[in-house]
Amino acid sequence: MSTNRPYRLGVMLGDGIGPEIVPASVRVVDAALAAAGAEPVEWQELPLGASAIDEHGSAIPAATLEALAGLDGWLLGPHDSAAYPEPFRSQLNPSGAIRKHFDLYANIRPARGFEGGEAIAPDTDLVIVRENTEGFYADRNTFAGTGEFMPTADVAICHGVFTRPAVERIARTAFELARRRRNRVTIVHKANVLQLSSGLFKRVCLEIAEGYPDVAVDDVHIDAMTVHLLRRAGAFDVVVAENMFGDILSDMAGELAGSLGIAPSVNASDDRCMAQASHGSAPDIAGKGLANPTAMILSAGMLLDWLGTRHGDERAADAAVRVEDGVRAAVRAGVSTRDLGGTASTDEFAAAVVERVTAGRS
């Protein structure tokens, strides 16, 4: 490996279905790396979520953040912060705290239909590149505290923040990714109304586009983009947007591709990456073996791809392809969990993916 050592990856199981889907993803990653001839991962499990509150008095203990800083990447299970007791419920949730602490500015969310799946738009094959630190999400756009406040009991104010450096780096992320895909970027904004804030986002993205003459670029208003996604999702390649717009569009794209249960994502900076499924913790089915691990498995595969790209590691990159191929081969063969119309349990689906990963690239 280019790192001259095995990768050291963190595991945070989270809440709800997290303790089921995260270990399933670890099994698939281990199998894919072995099949690619890579060194096995050194996994380090770290406390996070409701169990961490019970044992450590914090949903995201300081010791967890300290340990994460020394690792090559992390798998984060879903959290159910809405169910935490106060004061933890009102605090920044664990994933938000990690993103903010490590400045994970890029939230990368692919949406691609599965052959044999139940996609509304099976030709969907796009990636939402979402700016993760500013925009209209008040829990992320200030150094301390949040961007929400109430001067009176009847008035609530929220400010959005847009800065040139943050837009420049997310735009570069989008254009670099487009070069690995189909060389097209769509900038989503609302500059016709939010002329200064969203206007800055659009202008800076177009400035960065000048450095990528090989990548086609266009821009679309956020409201029009929802219509375009519904009508012609297959026409889009890489979509770059501020935080809230990107969040909305990626959930919509995930549903078009099949469901949020298959929607993966990573949160990354230039030197750190965290795999995290786009969906929630589904406490109603926790512990029943019904959870669909697809999104978490694919997110772990994205982490392998990020490691392969950052370190020039062909084996990690190969393992990443094996993960996605294995998931798609399983679904194509009719193996899926109940939310997708199948009968497989969480462990049975993971085993089917491991079997196909081990058998070789499909």
Residue 247 is a catalytic residue: yes
Tell me which of 190, 237, 305, 325 is the catalytic residue. 190
Helix (H) or strand (E) holding 24: helix 18-35
Active-site annotation holder among 15, 72, 80, 247: 247
- DSSP letters, 134-197, are SBT-TTTSSSSS-SEEEEETTEEEE--B--HHHHHHHHHHHHHHHHTTTSEEEEEE-TTTSTTH
Measure the CA–CA gap between 299 and 355, rounded to whole angstroms.
19
Catalytic residue among 7, 84, 105, 137: 137
Nearest partner of 239 among 126, 79, 347, judged by Cα: 126
Per-residue burial over 83-102, b = 16 or more CB atoms within 10 Å of its CB, e = otherwise: ebeeebeebbbbbbbbbbeb
For the question of residue 318 being annotated catalytic, the response is no
From the list 30, 103, 219, 251, the catalytic residue is 251
Report how far residue 140's alpha carbon sits from residue 148's, in angstroms, rounded to the nearest whole number. Answer: 11
Clarify whether 223 is annotated catalytic: yes
Q: Which residue has the tokens 């990548």?
A: 215
Structure tokens at 77: 């299970």
Extract the runs of DSSP E, i.e. beta strands, from the chain.
8-12, 42-45, 73-76, 106-112, 125-131, 148-152, 155-158, 184-189, 216-221, 238-241, 266-268, 273-276
Between CA 275 and CA 261 the distance in angstroms is 15
Does the annotation mark 251 as catalytic?
A: yes
Helix H or strand E segment including 30: helix 18-35
Decide if 105 is catalytic: no
- Residue 107 pairs in a beta bridge with 130, 267
- The residue from 54, 123, 218, 223 that is catalytic is 223
Residue with tokens 């605090």: 91
Q: Give the residue numbers marked as catalytic.
A: 137, 190, 223, 247, 251
